[in-house]
Amino acid sequence: MGIPLTSTLSNLYLNGRWLLPSARTDNQVTLHAYLTNISLTAQDDYYEWEIDGKIENRYNTGTVYTLLREQLPLVNWSRAVWIKGGVPRQSFLCWLFVLNRCPTKDRILGWGLQTDPKCLLCANLPESRDHLLFVCGFSWSIWSRVASRSQKIAHRDWASTISTMQSLRGPRENTRLSLLAWQTTIYNIWTERNQRLHRNTFRSVDTILQIIDSTIRNRISGFRDTNPNLRSGMMQRWLRNH
């Protein structure tokens, strides 16, 4: 085009005329013809956000992200995984388990890597997602007691567990506590598994239960200022069977 890289629009358009170098190619001729049909004004530039044909006064990152990302149907388990007021890292891990994307030993073997297939928690059966949650005797000892405290019936098989969690009904403090307890249990079972694998450290069921109890209490206490009624209801329910 022969236009310096540092040029601005004001350098190329003056007093209603385009100041462009002579065209040397057919493409440049086409571009010149297109530009000469555009009339600019002396008004200050301004920006508008138009979403679905409507001018928005404020920019909203969430709205733009929703429009840009691929739209997929809502899955049945979404409310069980992405819980309001939950612990983000626990929800993320739960999401990976729902999709069966965690590197359990059955998946590692499926990738062609060599590893002992036995569960690191019970050392009896091959490790898989369904075994860890909660066929494994060690995991079941934890989950059965946590579920009892949150006043929910515990299931050992994964399909029944996820079905129960995604169909919870009742007062908000009850469903919120059940989901928080479930996700906290999954997170700490997986953490214990990884510590045994990578650090060769072992904790007892009672120690892990104490960590789960502390995590849940702290998270519930976090609602003290934002939602004291929810905090009170969840804490009373959690402490009722302590």
Domain membership flag for residue 234: yes
Domain membership flag for residue 115: yes
Domain membership flag for residue 72: no
Lowest mean pLDDT among 41-45, 163-167, 193-197, 220-224: 41-45
* pLDDT tens string 127-144: 999 999 999 999 999 999
Question: What is the reported pLDDT for 69?
Answer: 85
CA 175, CA 200: separation in Å to the nearest integer?
Answer: 36
Range of the domain at 230: 78-240
CA 238, CA 232: separation in Å to the nearest integer?
Answer: 10
Number of separate domains in the chain: 1
* pLDDT tens string 199-231: 999 999 999 999 999 999 999 999 998 899 999
Domain membership flag for residue 46: no
Domain membership flag for residue 58: no
Domain membership flag for residue 14: no
Question: What is the reported pLDDT for 64?
Answer: 86
Domain membership flag for residue 23: no
| Cα four-point dihedral sign 83, 89, 92, 97 | negative
Domain membership flag for residue 95: yes
